[in-house]
Structure 1
């Protein structure tokens, strides 16, 4: 599995318009907690169904995109944060130590 980097604000509408499941990982490159959450998630991400679109946002470099994600999917901004999007709606958001590949897989599999 591989991340698709979010670098353009228009990608948010593309994600919202997608059918099926997408996952957005919002990461702060300056935060050790964020690095640990990302590493832990990637160690376990083989449990995520392969047809899930995986998106990665470096929120330090792309703060306006991070704000747009929060507005579009009606979630409170946090970092690190993971959002699971299904057919345009956020069905799971978790942050910090609550980020879990197993939980994401469970939500997607139901």
Structure 2
């Protein structure tokens, strides 16, 4: 089973984005204070427990606890901040993103099987 690696520094964020040239990065921005985000977290977890794409790196940013990192991700990637949100990064560039109730295990499977 794949797990989410927490990103809580801008250096870790920069490293993850840089490494996306070797393996795609799925970045999950999660709020521990939001019930919609709690549901999205369950969907991401369900995806990770059920045959996730092995070549993808999976990371999580806690948007409340690590606000500066979350805002930096929005700035660096040019994707308007939302929470919950998933962003797929390849070669340092976001190639797909979605948010809120659009985050589903089946949706992730569909997009990431093509990565």
Secondary structure at 2:40's aligned position in 1?
Answer: helix
Residue ranges of structure 2 left out of the alignment (5+ in a row): none
Q: 1:103 Cα shift? A: 2.8
Looking at structure 2, the residues matched to 88 and 95 of structure 1 have their Cα atoms a distance apart, in angstroms, of 20
Looking at structure 1, the residues matched to 71 and 12 of structure 2 have their Cα atoms a distance apart, in angstroms, of 13
Residue 98 of structure 2, aligned match among 94, 97, 107: 94
Compute the TM-score of the two structures, normalised by the length of structure 2: 0.87
Give 4+ residue runs of structure 1 displaced > 6 Å after superposition.
Answer: none
Determine the structure 1 residue equivalent to 2:15: 14
Compute the TM-score of the two structures, normalised by the length of structure 1: 0.91
Residue ranges of structure 1 left out of the alignment (5+ in a row): none
Looking at structure 2, the residues matched to 109 and 30 of structure 1 have their Cα atoms a distance apart, in angstroms, of 30
Q: 1:50 Cα shift? A: 1.7
Aligned residues: 110
Q: Is the 2:28–2:60 contact (alpha carbons within 8 Å) kept by the matching residues of 1?
A: yes
